[in-house]
Amino acid sequence: MTLSRRHFLGLTAALAAAPGAWAQTTEFTATGERVPELTAFDELMTRFVREQGVPGASLAIAHRGKLLYARGFGLADRDTGAPVRPTTRFRIASVSKPFTAVAILKLIEQGKLGIDDPVLPLLGRPAKDPRWARITIRHCLQHRGGWDRAISGDPIGQMGEIFRTTGIPPPYDPAQIVRYMLGRPLDFEPGARMAYSNLGYLVLGRVIAKVAGVDYEDFVRTAVLKPLGLNSLKLGKAAWKDRETDEARYHTRDNRTGLSLYDPFGPPVPYPYGAENFEGFEAHGGWIATASDLVRFADAFHDTAKCPLLKPETIALMQARPEGESGHEADGSPKAVYYGAGWMVRPIKDGQVNLWHGGLIAGSEALLVKRWDGWSWAVLFNANGAAKGGNLSNAIDPLLHRALGR
């Protein structure tokens, strides 16, 4: 059945929210092998999940090439009572971006792409705004492409506007979103400043597919995941019926529901299961993974001389400080924290850095950290939003560093 303009616009206004937080469970389960030397993390995760009222979470920790800790806490599915296990997969949202960045850097190492190559010729379509011609690979990696969602909104969530402009009903794949944005003006001159942009990473996904000659997911799997033996990662699906059997069930704090973009004539669904364009997130936020595989990815960079993914000079490019105000204060001094290529970066000492990335979408949050001293961790939640406002990743980040005690 064809979705009419009137019907779609009516559906986009029909999102409903069920009041109150998710139901709490009186039981609490921790799975995975207990590590006596790291019991501080057990205590932290147990307390945090309970205090935040989160259904479930998974934490994995590695140190200099060794996976030391992988445990699940609470419930993967509050309806069935199934516990989170170390093998439970979660949506990782924007923690997808480091994988996309490494895939781009692999193409640069292979000589198929240059860091300052323009992206427009690789997209195969003209752009309305002539400034598109000045957007480079580096700009997209560092969120300096010229898009500012504080000004023009995030096209990832502008389903109604895309429909009104194109006449094509959702859901939209990444190529359709990029084509739509080629007809929109930029918000600032490319390279002038940093503004976090999901679109820039969707553009990079299209570049990867064009240059590699295979689907984005296939190239990431071959070039990034396979060398590390990371088998849990794949692009996730939106609908409940299409989920992986070992995937957590996602919950929003307000139990929000909406009409599915993937089945618009069906009944309302829990918001994470089709009320947003999840399968269009792809290169900026569409992957699912276990915490163990995420931390193995971060840990691959603990020794730049022996990294199985990138050469030392390419890792330096990944961690490089952006020019101008993206990497410097108004007085020209270097910022304490900046966005490199796919990672937040904090220089520590003697060229050592902390790298991290968070992720948040309806029903899930993620945090991936690689510290300068060889410790890395990944924490995943099957819910979003902290109990007192803000997000879970920001709330737990300082607590994890404190639990390490180093």
Q: Provide the pLDDT for residue 28.
A: 74
pLDDT, average across residues 69-84: 96
SS3 306: helix
pLDDT tens-digit readout, 326-375: 999 999 999 999 999 999 999 998 889 999 999 999 999 999 999 999 99
Task: Give the whole-number percent of the chain exceeding pLDDT 90.
Answer: 89
pLDDT, average across residues 262-286: 95
pLDDT, average across residues 177-189: 97
Q: Provide the pLDDT for residue 29.
A: 85
Our separate counts of H helices and E strands in the chain read 14, 16
Q: Provide the pLDDT for residue 264.
A: 84
Q: Provide the pLDDT for residue 7.
A: 42
CA distances from 90 to 32, 361, 397 (A): 16, 11, 18
Amino acid at 189: E
pLDDT tens-digit readout, 30-47: 999 999 999 999 999 999
Name the pLDDT band for 270 (thresholds 50, 70, 90). very high
The structure tokens listed for 35 are 């590590």
Q: Provide the pLDDT for residue 136.
A: 98
Q: Is the pLDDT of residue 19 over 80?
A: no
CA distances from 331 to 192, 353, 392 (A): 16, 23, 34
pLDDT tens-digit readout, 138-160: 999 999 999 999 999 999 989 99
Mean pLDDT of the chain: 93
Query: Based on C-alpha coordinates, what's the Rg of the chain?
Result: 21
pLDDT tens-digit readout, 211-232: 999 999 999 999 999 999 999 9
CATH classification number, 5-404, choose in 1.10.8.50, 3.40.50.800, 3.40.710.10, 3.20.20.70: 3.40.710.10
The structure tokens listed for 44 are 């932290």
Side-chain-side CA neighbours of residue 6 (13 Å):
0
pLDDT, average across residues 89-94: 98
Q: Provide the pLDDT for residue 13.
A: 40
pTM score, whole prediction = 0.93
Name the pLDDT band for 179 (thresholds 50, 70, 90). very high
The DSSP line for 237-279 is -SSGGGS-TTBPPPEETT--EE--SSSTTS--EEGGGTSS-GG
